[in-house]
Amino acid sequence: MRALVWHGTTDIRCDSVPDPEIEHPRDAIIKVTSCAICGSDLHLYDHFMPGMKSGDIMGHESMGEVVEVGAEAKGKLKVGDRVVIPFTIICGECDQCKRGNFSVCERTNRNGHIAAKAFGHATAGLFGYTHLTGGYPGGQAEYLRVPFADATHIKVPDGIPDEKLLFLSDIFPTGWQAAVQCDIQPTDTVAIWGAGPVGQMAIRSAILLGARQVVVIDRIPERLAMAEAGGAITINFDEESVVERLNELTNGKGPEKCIDAVGMEAHAAGTVDAMYDRVKQAAMMETDRPHVLREMAYVCRPAGTLSVPGVYGGLLDKIPFGAIMNKGLTIRTGQTHVNRWTDDLLRRIEEGQIDPSFVITHTVGLEEGPEMYKIFRDKQDGCVKVVLKP
Amino acid sequence: MRYETERTRRRGHADTATDTLARGLGIFSIALGIAEVVAPRALARALGMKGQEGLITGYGLREIATGIGILASKDPTPWIWGRVAGDGLDLATLATALERDNPNKRNVGIAMAAVAGVTALDVYCAQTLSRESPHPLPPLQDYSDRTGFPRGVEQARGAASDFEVPRDFRTPEALRPYTQPDLPQNPMPSM
């Protein structure tokens, strides 16, 4: 089959690789009908996340049709089922899964000992996202082996196009969880850093959950226009002071809830701390560039909440913990517990409350994937979200 | 990357980071030029170049003109290249002061190192501008109709109020305000 394969920094190719096979009775194989490039894939593309090996298949946002089912998954899946595959692999049986904390499933990360060394404890296995999370082949491919398939799937009905459903795999529940983590009240101003795909979903989620005002911070005109279309007030950080504008919008009090939909590769050209991060990262003295975290901690209203769906990988410098502690801020973060939210979100899609396909700007074949990584990374051609059709 | 925004002064030009660098070099150019025009004697003395005050004043005027050109022109590329040429001239002039009998030879060395550093920035900026300026910007995509809400934004506001935030995602009771502020009369400020 053809698949997008990681070969090194900014080197992803569309290669021919062996078809996946059932390796365990709980496995299933799906024929991928649609998959997407995620913003967090760019951390692998730029090789900021450790733990990739040449030959790894990329991708963790996929959906398709079940074509083969292992003996132990047959009670929950059958050939022909239409499924979206969540990016977190879950067993459904461990302590954390039973609590709904699927992204920290205790059993699916087959390299849990490596993750435990890095993070203290293992987290869930993820598709196509480094050997720290299990080294599972990803779904930017014609076929995908789904481990623990009896639990790791979202069944979706026929009659709704892939484009409306695909993002149940990651960015929609990720944006939703980011907003839910804020426990939004009708009086709240929610400020969202990053108008990429997760930021766009967080905006829509915050609107649906009834925030008084939603403010988004970015600098790409197309992304800001898309954010505004979704009901957000926009701040172009190249053109105005984020802190001043947020204070102006909140009578000097700051937003109650702040969402970091940027993560480890913040671009904030011109600020002293951003230049500092660039230098330290280049000298391998820092893994992440946490400009957004710093700004959120500074501008957030005392007793407010910082919600962090943006991906961070390692060690961050100069985090103003004095501000966080003295202002009594709450930090909520984590990979998304996808299956915890998807029944509810699928219903909202079916009822027409939201149509997540609004975010798709490019739809191409798998062979064009490597070029689309570059275009997406460089935010060229108005690229916000790329869907691949294997 | 290059984007046209409301504040972008010209189409078909470099990204804002390179623009910012070019502007910074323009301001630096004017500042240095003023110093050379205002205090040529002090500079000549510090560099052991007595008798060349007129030349230093001339160089100062050149710096000011280049700086104004960078800041005022629609396309600063040729002016930045002009700075690169000026840097070469400065380095050549300073090199003549590296004579054995110049007691301030050390100052000349420091000045040459500083000019070399600025030259590197000038070359980087000029090359980036030259690479990007000839290519017209692609047109902006129009996403202003991509609400994501089939029934419109206003209908969507609070549409998920039936959602019950799970207990472990709620603000702990002890951290909630004792009193909730009243809801605003107008849920959205004018935009």
What distance in Å separates residue A291's CA from the closest CA in chain B? 17
- The angle formed by the CA atoms of residues B163, B166 and B168, to the nearest 5 degrees, is 155
Domains of chain A: 2-170+336-389 (3.90.180.10), 172-333 (3.40.50.720)
Q: How far is CA A292 from CA A78, A289, A299, A310, in A?
A: 45, 8, 10, 10
C-alpha triplet B183, B189, B191: angle, nearest 5°: 160
Q: Best interface-test mutation with B: which of A203, A205, A208 has the largest number of B CBs within 10 A?
A: A208
Q: How far is B182 from chain A (nearest CA, A)?
A: 8
Q: What is the per-residue pLDDT for B14?
A: 47
* Contact call for B149 and A212, based on CB within 8 A: no
Number of H helices, E strands in chain A: 13, 18
Find where tokens 């009905």 sit. Answer: A157
Interface A-B: count of C-beta contacts within 8 A = 141
CA distance A286 to A280: 5
Q: Which residue has the tokens 């110093």?
A: B35
H-type alpha helices, chain A: 41-45, 95-98, 112-119, 162-165, 171-180, 197-208, 221-229, 242-249, 272-282, 291-299, 321-326, 338-350, 369-377
Phi-psi region of B20 (alpha: psi -120 to 50; beta: other; left: phi over 0): alpha
Helix and strand tally (H, E) in chain B? Answer: 6, 0
CA distances for B35 relative to B1, B29, B41, B85, B86, angstroms? 35, 10, 11, 20, 16
Q: Are strands A154-155 and A82-85 parallel, antiparallel or unpaired?
A: antiparallel
Give the Cβ contact number of residue A180 at 10 Å: 24
Q: Cβ contacts (< 8 Å) between B149 and chain A: which residues?
A: 204, 207, 230-231, 353-355
Q: Closest Cα of chain B to A315: distance in Å?
A: 26
From the list B1, B159, B183, which residue is nearest A187 (CB)? B183
Smallest CA–CA distance from A340 into chain B, residue: B166
If you search the block for the tokens 């150019």, which residue do you land on? B29
Q: What is the pLDDT of residue B190?
A: 43
Phi, psi of B48 (to 5 degrees): 65, 35
Q: Name the pairing type of β-strands A56-57 and A2-8.
A: antiparallel
Q: State the sign of the Cα–Cα–Cα–Cα dihedral A174, A84, A151, A354.
A: positive
Q: Which residues of A touch B3 (CB under 8 A)?
A: 219-221
pLDDT at position B138: 66
Neighbours of A66 (CB within 10 A): 21
Nearest CA in chain A to B187: A212
Q: Which two tokens stand for residue A240?
A: 């105005």
Greatest distance between any 2 Cα atoms in chain A: 61
A345 and A176 Cβ atoms separated by less than 8 Å: yes
Query: Which token pair is A86?
Result: 């969540």
CB contact under 8 Å between A100 and B166, yes or no, is yes
Cβ-based neighbour number of residue A116 at 10 Å: 14
- Tokens 């937003």 belong to residue: A255
Beta bridge partners of A126: A88
Q: Do B149 and A204 touch (CB under 8 A)?
A: yes
CB contact set of B147 (below 8 Å; sequence gap of 6+) = A229, A230, A231, A358, B153, B156
Closest of A34, A43, A142 to residue A363, by C-alpha: A34
User: What mean pLDDT, rounded, does chain B reach?
Assistant: 83
pLDDT, position A75: 94
Which one is predicted more confidently, A376 or B186? A376
Please give the share of chain B, as a percent, with pLDDT higher than 70.
80
Distance CA B157, CA A227 (A): 15
Neighbour-count burial for B94-112, b at 16+ CB within 10 Å, e otherwise? beebeeeeeebeebbeebb
pLDDT grade for B131, boundaries at 50, 70 and 90: confident
Dist. CA B24–CA B76, nearest whole Å: 12
Strand, coil or helix: A106: coil
Residue A96 CA, chain-centre distance (Å), reads 20
- Rama region for B183: left / alpha / beta (φ>0; ψ in -120 to 50; rest): beta
SS3 A227: helix
Average pLDDT, chain A: 94
- Around B47, how many Cα atoms within 13 Å sit in the side-chain half-sphere? 26
A contacts of B175 (beta carbons < 8 Å): 303, 328, 330
Q: Taking the CA atoms of chain B, what radius of gyration do you get in angstroms?
A: 28
Report yes or no for ipTM above 0.90: yes
B17, closest residue in chain A (CA to CA): A269
A265 or B132: whose pLDDT is higher? A265
Task: Tell me the pLDDT tens digit for each residue of B2-49.
Answer: 444 444 434 334 456 777 888 889 999 999 999 999 999 999 999 999
B175, closest residue in chain A (CA to CA) = A303
What confidence score (pLDDT) does residue A315 get? Answer: 85
Q: DSSP assignment of A273-333, as one string?
A: HHHHHHHHHHTTS-S-B-HHHHHHHHHSPTT-EEEE-S---S------HHHHHHTT-EEEE
Best residue in A95, A98, A185 for a mutation probing chain B (most B CBs within 10 Å): A185
β-strands A189-193, A154-155 pairing: unpaired
> Which string of DSSP letters, residue by residue, matches B18-52?
HHHHHHHHHHHHHHHHHHHHH-HHHHHHHHT-TT-
Which residues of chain A are modeled with pLDDT < 70? 268-270
Pairwise CA distance, residues A107 & A90, whole Å: 8
